[in-house]
Structure 1
Amino acid sequence: MKTKIIYPIVFLLISSLSFSQGFKEKKEKVKALKVAYITEQLDLTTEEAQKFWPIYNAFDDKQSELRHEKIRAILDRFEPGNVEKLSEKDASTLLTQMESVEESLFALRKKFIKDLQGVISAKKIIKLKKAEEDFNRTLLRQIKERRKG
């Protein structure tokens, strides 16, 4: 039942993001919406929330750094659409670098789960993963609908 209430709220809040806002402002609003959504879905106690959010925020920041900066740095070295022009050696190097980033992300996620195990229950950790996926799916749907409209 909560999900049926939350989805329309997230939908309305995301759709209220105006095109005139800067990227940083939009990112801040999306982050605030994500925090509200996760908080609602996990139903954290005050004590859990005080311990959970610093761990989550550190994880989220590091994950963003790995995804956006390192992956972009790798991919930006090659112009989009020029994959056909890559030599096999350059493609192999790029693939190795991409695998390294993916391994770093996996190790980060494992550490994050381990850190959370002393803070929230295993069931809530699973709920967190589902809440993140649901939020991201809703966000992507909103972005697609905006581009169509």
Structure 2
Amino acid sequence: MNFRKILPLLLLFACSLYAQDNMKDKKEQVKALKVAFLTSELDLSTQEAEKFWPLYNVYDDKQFEIRHQKMKAFKNRLNSESLNKISEKDANILLTQMEAADEELFYLRKKFSKSLRTILPASKILKLKKAEDDFYRKLLQQYGDRGKRR
């Protein structure tokens, strides 16, 4: 069976994962779907895959940590009531912390891209970026469609 034919079902399944309670299980299940999607889109050789996946997994875990732990802490402090009462000094500190996290993500991506250049041609690195964007777009679309049916 062609992977592109079962992809919508996989994405729908991924969206149903959001209904579960265990965040770690959800993360692992979405990660498995992402790996399957990226594998089909990148068409890596055996040698490329052996070098790519360990590097990608470290990068993906670090990116998740920055986005979901650091950024979540910032967002929790940015509710409307807190924002109305925050001092200028505290606002500047929070803004500086947020910028540092954004910069950390940027340098992580840059380092990852530089490492990828030693194992993949530039065309596959571009395909990876597009495939990641496509995966998340479809995941969000499926999640949004699921919410409309309620």
What TM-score, normalized by structure 1, do the two folds share? 0.87
Question: Is contact 2:20-2:26 (8 Å) kept?
Answer: no
Q: How many residues align?
A: 147
Q: Quote the residue 2:27 is aligned against.
A: 27
Q: Distance in 2 between matches of 1:6 and 1:97?
A: 42
Map of 1:140 onto structure 2: 140
Q: Distance in 1 between matches of 2:15 and 2:73?
A: 31
Name the CA distance, whole Å, in 2 between partners of 1:55 and 1:20. Answer: 29
Matches within 5 A, 1:1-149: 5=5, 7-15=7-15, 17=17, 19-20=19-20, 22-76=22-76, 78=77, 80-81=79-80, 82-148=82-148, 149=150
**Structure 1: unaligned runs, 5 residues or longer:** none
Classify the secondary structure of the residue corresponding to 2:17.
coil
- Root mean square deviation of aligned Cα: 2.1
Write the distance in 2 (CA, Å) between the matches of 1:102 and 1:140. 22
Percent of aligned pairs with the same amino acid? 52
Deviates more, 1:63-72 or 1:2-11: 2-11
CA distance in 1 between counterparts of 2:30 and 2:56 reads: 16
Gaps of 5+ in 2: none
Matches of 1:118 and 1:79, distance apart in 2 = 41
Letter in 2 for 1:57: N
